Amino acid sequence: MLGCLVAVAVPLAGFAALILASATPTSHPIHTPGAAEVKAHEYIDRRPLFDSSLPAPTMSLDDLRCAAWQTTETRACPDAAMLARQMWTDATQAPQTLYVAVHDICSTLDSQTNGFNVEYIGSQRTLTLHCYSAQPWLQFPNGTGSRAQSSIFLIDVSTQAIHTGSVSVFEDDRVEQLVGDDSSQTMLGIVTIT
């Protein structure tokens, strides 16, 4: 009798563990104690990224477009009007706005499990763009063996609630899983808020 129970219980436990390990949790915005939520907007245009270096955050949309251009081109940037027609065409320069280029993990386009939110901690003068996604702990190969090329996405961040001065800007890439989360934080740059 005991042998029959073990023979049934072990495969059931293994099956249950497999189901839990392959389940995708619900993704959600990241909330840091003491941080204030900051208004931000994502633009749908993508810019290819051939290496891992992102353009530094800036208060100038023209400067960011040129820096993004130079991640894939060796020649000098075209004039600002031409760049505006080629990338992030819906974006316009606005007062009290910080322009930040982020990796494509932040994109909410075509995704039910990706998102981003932005927080500011005044006492530390830090602004963090949390790029979050949800994935199962156990993933099965899809058989293609290929990886999509990385892209740059533009996020504009309101600086209305941030006092003038230097602010450190970070990108926090977070993958939520049922069995522990993975998080890696990268400093994108230091910006002077005017």
- For the question of whether the overall pTM of this predicted structure is more than 0.85, the answer is no
Q: How far is CA 153 from the centre of its chain?
A: 9
DSSP state of 58: B
Select from 57, 105, 67 the least CA-distant residue to 87. 67
Mean pLDDT (the chain, rounded): 79
Across the chain, where does the E strand assignment appear? 36-38, 40-42, 47-48, 97-103, 114-121, 126-134, 151-158, 165-176, 182-193
Determine the pLDDT at residue 152. 82
pLDDT of 106 above 90: no
**How far lies 23's CA from each of 7, 17, 114, 140, 173, in Å?**
25, 10, 16, 12, 20
Of residues 143 and 189, the one with the higher pLDDT is 189
With a CB cutoff of 8 Å and minimum separation 6, the contacts of 85 are none
Strands 165-176 and 126-134: parallel
Amino acid identity, residue 179? V
- Angstrom distance (rounded) from CA 79 to CA 77: 6
Euclidean distance between CA atoms 133 and 150, whole angstroms = 16
Encode pLDDT of 24-78 as tens digits. Answer: 556 667 889 999 999 999 887 777 766 667 899 999 999 999 999 988 888 899 9
Model pLDDT, residue 142: 52
Six token digits for residue 10: 């072990």
In the prediction, which pLDDT does 53 show? 77
- Whether the per-residue pLDDT at 20 is higher than 50: the answer is no
Residue count (the chain): 194
